[in-house]
Amino acid sequence: MTSPAAPSPSSSLPPAAAVEFRELTSVDEIRLVQAMERSVWGGEDIDISPILLMVALVKSGALLLGAFIDGTLRGFAFSVPGDRHGQRLHWSHMTGVDDGLRSAGLGTQLKFEQARRVAARGYSRIQWTYDPLQSLNAHLNLVKLGARADEYAEHVYGDSSSDLHRGAPTDRFIATWQIDANGTPIRSPLLARAALEDGVPAGTVTRREGWDVYHAAPSLPDTPVVRVPVPARFGAMLQHAPDLALDWRLQTRAQFEALFAAGYHAVDFRRADDRGDYILVRP
């Protein structure tokens, strides 16, 4: 999963050379990560990663990568080796960045450094989950990083103690990131088709009392390229208009699950301010 992304015009990132990436292995370093988990997600202690488990995972091949600026931990990415559907991979469980740097590109740098180090360990695939209705994370994962998604998982994390996740089930996309031997992303060949067609919308969006409202089409388009919208400010919607957020979740859940079952892949995301549309392509 990725850290919540919120625009922060005042945030700035030092030059890449000023960011030190370091693999974290000691108990003291893992305590720093625990503190950042509390800061980023605001969960209760029961949802914070246990130190003994983190130590065991790192010793057995997990990668706990820290990003330091002026000697202070400002972000981290944590992935573990595994096997899904018969394919070796690293499962990227968490990526968190300090609040003031979430829009400054540190998360992107962390992911690319993670890819390089995972590739050096002999892996060519990284997967993780993210909330498909968070437009900034959608843009990061599909556009900036070049991942794709063709799996939908319902209520993955159950009822979280974090205020950031309350108001709707914790449904997630499973993002897949193919990388070469140097850790360079291999983008989906379906992007070529996505670039040539606008796609048929799966529904319409209207406004009500300052919020986006979704009206799913009675049936999904049977076309090579389909667009599925996501709302503006879904994180705020979870807090202040939870019924509306739940409606978005359930309507888009049904559509994404049907599209993935029909063989579509989410390969692109077209932003319009703080909302946007997924571009799903059928091979």
| Res. 162: pLDDT tops 70 | no
Determine the Cα–Cα distance for residues 255 and 35; give it in Å rounded to an integer.
38
Q: Report the mean per-residue pLDDT for the chain.
A: 91
82 strand-pairing partners: 89
Residue 15: per-residue pLDDT: 58
* Complete domains list, the chain, with CATH: 16-178 (3.40.630.30), 191-281 (no CATH)
Determine the Cα–Cα distance for residues 278 and 276; give it in Å rounded to an integer.
7
Burial class (CB in 10 A: 0-12, 13-18, 19+), 208: exposed
Mode of pairing for the β-strands spanning 148-153 and 172-178: antiparallel
Mode of pairing for the β-strands spanning 87-97 and 125-130: parallel
| Token output for 171 | 């449904």
pTM of the predicted protein model: 0.91
Burial class (CB in 10 A: 0-12, 13-18, 19+), 70: exposed
**Can you give the C-alpha Rg of the chain in angstroms?**
19
- pLDDT tens digits, 108-158: 999 999 999 999 999 999 999 999 999 999 999 999 999 999 999 999 988
Q: Could you give the percent of the chain with pLDDT greater than 90? A: 83
